[in-house]
Chain A
């Protein structure tokens, strides 16, 4: 009886952990999602990457728009150092027509995104990560054959004004990872748009 209880509570914890998505240190699964250039992209396509800056993003959200230029700068700064940006739109296009695949193509062209901008078409990837909003950043670091979550949260501490940023949370986290250290803070919070589902 006691054993059943322990088993049940273990199952409960496993389930609730799944519902919450990845925690710091968890291994992130690869994905295969359609890019705005019509090709499918997986993390396995970047064998030389030391990690990834996975950003759940979209077209419509003003908080995303406020960060788009900074996303481009982050890619240009860190892709040559082994940490490319991969943006993923998790929104359902019926619930949020502005975030349809065709509108993603338009936005990627307008902003000339240097990074893949992928569509989580069946909305199966964002729950695995535990993304709850756009923008929502997950920094992954390579650990042998695995990619582990090293940082979750915001790009920096000021969505309104890039010039008034005091702490570059994500950039600091990448520097920590590159030096074999644990990012501090490893988790930050930011206001964002809910992920749209039907």
Chain B
């Protein structure tokens, strides 16, 4: 009986926590649907936001991660925030993404976008995006540009310097 009561409590609790928190946590990595995520593409403050869409299986993405990390480390004290948005399969969050983030020692924030209906949300990131990754959105007050390409640290720096 006590066991049953406990199980019931657990069930109710897990139901409550599920229904009240839109994002699920795995370590530090939040999982979003696009509707939950979208506001992070439109933050109206004095920061510079560099939003990079990537995946552990995407070789050119993996190659440029240290450059984005360096950008974040160099300019975070001056109001620049790098946000890595993983498009890995959600079932591989624990097995692939978390170990990858630890191995690469990624310091900037990492989230996972779990929204398979990409035709609905890709144009809401940018009308210019055909859907290939890596892709990067950079925005700040009075500036918004989308890039479906790879970057080096120097190329990123050239874009963000006038915005500092």
* A residues apposed to B, CB below 8 Å: 61-62, 66, 96, 132-133, 153-154, 157-161, 164, 166, 169, 185, 188-196
B119 & A194 in contact (Cβ 8 Å cutoff): no
Question: Cβ of A191: which chain B residues have Cβ within 8 Å of it?
Answer: 87, 118, 122, 131-133
Is chain B's binding surface mostly helix, strand, loop or mixed? loop
Given the known interface contacts A133-B132, A192-B132, the answer about A157 and B89 at a Cβ–Cβ threshold of 8 Å is no
Question: Cβ of A154: which chain B residues have Cβ within 8 Å of it?
Answer: 118-119
In the assembled complex, B129 has its CB within 8 A of some CB on chain A? yes
In the assembled complex, B22 has its CB within 8 A of some CB on chain A? no
B89 & A164 in contact (Cβ 8 Å cutoff): no
Interface set, chain B 58-75, CB cutoff 8 A to A: 58-60
A132 & B119 in contact (Cβ 8 Å cutoff): no
Question: Cβ of A133: which chain B residues have Cβ within 8 Å of it?
Answer: 130-132
Interface size in chain B (residues, C-beta < 8 A)? 22
B59 & A96 in contact (Cβ 8 Å cutoff): yes
Given the known interface contacts A62-B57, A62-B89, A96-B59, the answer about A193 and B132 at a Cβ–Cβ threshold of 8 Å is yes
Given the known interface contacts A132-B131, A133-B132, A193-B132, the answer about A159 and B119 at a Cβ–Cβ threshold of 8 Å is no
Contact partner of B89 among A61, A160, A189, A194, CB < 8 A? A160
Whole-angstrom CA separation of A192 from B61 in the bound complex: 12
The 8 closest A-B pairs by CB, nearest first: A133-B132, A160-B116, A189-B122, A188-B119, A194-B132, A158-B116, A132-B130, A189-B131
Question: Cβ of B55: which chain A residues have Cβ within 8 Å of it?
Answer: 62
B118 & A194 in contact (Cβ 8 Å cutoff): no
B119 & A193 in contact (Cβ 8 Å cutoff): no
Question: Cβ of B79: which chain A residues have Cβ within 8 Å of it?
Answer: none
Question: Cβ of B118: which chain A residues have Cβ within 8 Å of it?
Answer: 154, 157, 159, 189-191
Whole-angstrom CA separation of A185 from B119 in the bound complex: 10
Question: Cβ of B60: which chain A residues have Cβ within 8 Å of it?
Answer: 194
Q: Chain A residue with minimal CB distance to B56?
A: A62
In the assembled complex, B117 has its CB within 8 A of some CB on chain A? yes
B132 & A132 in contact (Cβ 8 Å cutoff): yes
Whole-angstrom CA separation of A35 from B117 in the bound complex: 32
- Nearest CB on A from B6, distance (A): 34
Interface bits B117-131 vs A (CB < 8 Å: 1, else 0):
111101100000111
B89 & A161 in contact (Cβ 8 Å cutoff): no
A157 & B133 in contact (Cβ 8 Å cutoff): no
Interface set, chain B 18-38, CB cutoff 8 A to A: none
B133 & A153 in contact (Cβ 8 Å cutoff): no
Whole-angstrom CA separation of A169 from B90 in the bound complex: 23
Q: List 5 A-B contacts (CB under 8 A).
A: A157-B119, A161-B116, A189-B123, A190-B131, A196-B59
Interface bits B123-146 vs A (CB < 8 Å: 1, else 0):
100000111111000000000000
Contact partner of A189 among B58, B87, B129, B133, CB < 8 A? B129
Q: Chain B residue with minimal CB distance to A188?
A: B119
A193 & B58 in contact (Cβ 8 Å cutoff): yes
Q: Chain A residue with minimal CB distance to B90?
A: A160
Question: Cβ of A96: which chain B residues have Cβ within 8 Å of it?
Answer: 59
Q: Chain A residue with minimal CB distance to B132?
A: A133
